[in-house]
Amino acid sequence: MSVQEAAARAAALRREIEQHNHAYYVLDAPTIPDAEYDRLFRELQDIEVAHPQLLSMDSPTQRVGGKPLPEFLPVRHVVPMLSIRTETDTEPTGARAFDARVRRELGLAEGDAAIEYAAELKFDGLAINLRYEDGVLVQAATRGDGETGEDVTQNIRTVRRIPLRLTGEAPAVLEVRGEVFISRPDFERYNEKQRALGKATLVNPRNGAAGSIRQLDPAMAAERPLSFYAYGLGETRAWDLPPTHAGVLDALAACGLPVCEHRAVVQGAEGLIAFHARMREARDSLPFDIDGVVYKVNSLALQQRLGFVTREPRWAVAHKYPAEEALTTVEAIELQVGRTGAITPVARLAPVFVGGVTVTNATLHNEGEARRKDVRIGDTVVVRRAGDVIPEVVSVVVDQRPMKADGEPLHAAFELPKACPVCGSAVERPEDEAIARCSGGLFCPAQRKRALLHFAGRRALDIEGLGDKLMEQLVDHAIVKTPADLYKLGLLALVNLERMAEKSALNILVAVEKSKHTILARFIFALGIRNVGETTAKDLARHFGNLDALMAADLDRLQQVPDVGPVVAESILRFFAEPHNIEVIEQLRAAGVNWPEGESVAAANSPLAGKTFVLTGALPTLTRDEAKDMIEALGGKVAGSVSKKTDYVVAGAEAGSKLDKAQALGLTILDETQFRELISS
């Protein structure tokens, strides 16, 4: 291949790879298999190695990060990155106060028309300025003090949602402002992997995002699951500026930049109040943390008229939600034993209202975290709750710690006991792991309860009515010892339990019977194999197609499954090497638990294979999880947002903005009846 041919091929590969990156990371709609993507990537790498002069700043191969930096260099912002005023009144009066201020500054009378606002989310991450010159990302900088930030270009290159080259006609200069964050699912998956490897975990998504971007070693940043949303502009040159803020966001999206779909153009204070309330309702279901919403006067001309006061724009405000962090005191530190024997220290707290609920317990994660934060009984602590994430102790207010007369702390530092607090078995903690575990296995009632609750859980076999209290009674009365025993339950055994009416007992037996008909991915997940989460269970089901093939697989065969490395593969091998695990599986099969065999073959041959669905609103008879299972069993994929790549939108009651966007794009929209017809066909 000549240099000219290599240059043309490299340019074509860069365009194609970035298109696939945009589809995968921004649109959540993959366009090619991973193996094909890897082949294209390797081809580009080979060309750049053979012809180093062809290597360019916008090449996807440059996302891996360069050499560690000795320090971050300062970057002076051409247009200062100023902060937005925060409205601490979390009630509707906060929105009305902002609207009243804007109207007053513009000299509007009571009878004049309502002001048009752009309303969007206030992300809980790290603000970043991206500088594109002639369409190529040349620099990324943190906010810093607003005037001067730090050059974090190498780390930002590792964020795959951020394009290295803009699409469409490239302006001479376009500075894009936005937020780097870590989604809650990615945060949990990352920490789960870190714990399995015995490595340090991230404290919370916000700290994880900020800490990742400020790593001097870009390779460390590349390991973190970072995301990005654009929300504004810095310097621009030779760019046709739209007349409204909403138009700016649409233009940025057209350039290939990710822009959050949860935004709206509203009229007046009542429109702001409605958006604030709508996002508050949706807050826990969002895959990322927000601590409020942002209102901006939509017209850029009016923004210019309103100007700034004390380095804050008069035309924008952040309207917060109730605080998700609060102060309280630690009344005790107890130990919780999980289904895999993991021992977790839990702080019992003086009740405190935080993030919309009253919190009385907060996780300390593990012995290392508890000792690093030095949490002690009697301490005043900062407690954080975000969405549906388990509340955690963030830090200790050391100067409020109870002390003895001699100046020593009143209570000793936390220490992990040598024996399990539930069954007395030895506590083990391998040198390369952060988590200590009870060695008792199913002999330990705590592990038994947790394992059974996991098996019956909503995303596993989904046995409705089998909650904590009932499972506790079943285990304590020795009625249930293994998952197979759930299918031997009789009416008499249930009605003899405390506070168990005959009708409730019958409902549970019906739910147990219904759970016998499942899918392979749910069954694998229900087994509770260490390090095998829901996503890995689906990958295993798709790859092997039936349980016997999975059980017979060796280490090499297991590692052929996407995202299954040596740690996960070893966990699977150890699980199926235990005779009692095989015995329980055979008992479950004998009890009638079944699933369609050859799921991967059926999915591969299905007309829905590779099709992207979006679920929105409440369906009349199907839960979202049930609909998702039906789609995935036929090789389809469920995405969280609507885009041009979406094949079907399944809409129920109160579908909201996703339905509006689907209609605007002319996508195929199905109600539940039409969806069922499509699935059965």
Tell me which residue has tokens 């016998």.
Answer: 516
Are residues 510 and 553 in contact, defined by beta-carbon separation less than 8 angstroms? no
Enumerate residues 6+ apart whose C-beta is below 8 A from 350.
Answer: 328, 329, 331
Tokens of 202: 């991230």
Q: In what order do the strands lie in the sheet with 637-639?
A: 637-639, 612-616, 648-651, 668-670
Tokens of 334: 């107890």
Q: Which of 225, 201, 223 shows the shortest CA–CA distance to 373?
A: 201
Bridge partners of 117?
266, 297
Are residues 471 and 449 in contact, defined by beta-carbon separation less than 8 angstroms? yes
Rounded Cα distance between 117 and 114, Å, is: 9
Exactly one of 67, 122, 488, 514 is catalytic; name it.
122
Rounded Cα distance between 310 and 319, Å, is: 19
Q: For residue 29, give Cα distances in angstroms to 32, 287, 347, 533, 647.
A: 9, 17, 41, 22, 10
Q: How many CA atoms are closer than 13 Å to the CA of 32, on its beta-carbon side? A: 15
Angle, helix 445-456 to helix 468-476, in steps of 10 degrees = 130
Q: Which of 444, 451, 503 shows the shortest CA–CA distance to 482?
A: 451
DSSP H helix total and E strand total for the chain: 25, 24
Tokens of 608: 């829905």
Are residues 438 and 341 in contact, defined by beta-carbon separation less than 8 angstroms? yes
Rounded Cα distance between 10 and 47, Å, is: 7
Through-space distance between the first and last CA atoms of the chain, rounded to whole angstroms: 49
Q: Can you tell me whether residue 261 is helix, strand or coil? A: coil
Beta strands in 125-278 (DSSP E): 126-133, 136-142, 148-150, 173-181, 227-237, 264-267
Tokens of 24: 């995968």
Rounded Cα distance between 211 and 204, Å, is: 10
Rounded Cα distance between 594 and 576, Å, is: 19
Tell me which residue has tokens 């199926």.
Answer: 576
Are residues 129 and 143 in contact, defined by beta-carbon separation less than 8 angstroms? yes
Q: What count of other Cβ atoms lies within 10 Å of the Cβ of residue 435?
A: 20
Q: Which of 619, 615, 656, 620 shows the shortest CA–CA distance to 632?
A: 615
Q: Can you tell me whether residue 270 is helix, strand or coil? A: helix
Are residues 161 and 256 in contact, defined by beta-carbon separation less than 8 angstroms? no
Angle, helix 205-213 to helix 184-196, in steps of 10 degrees = 80
Using CB atoms within 10 Å of the CB of residue 529, give its burial: 0 to 12 exposed, 13 to 18 middle, 19+ buried: buried
Are residues 259 and 249 in contact, defined by beta-carbon separation less than 8 angstroms? yes
Rounded Cα distance between 61 and 44, Å, is: 8
Q: Which of 168, 175, 161, 315 shows the shortest CA–CA distance to 245?
A: 315
Angle, helix 579-590 to helix 566-577, in steps of 10 degrees = 70
Are residues 371 and 413 in contact, defined by beta-carbon separation less than 8 angstroms? yes
Rounded Cα distance between 396 and 102, Å, is: 41
Whether 122 is catalytic is: yes
Catalytic residue numbers read: 122
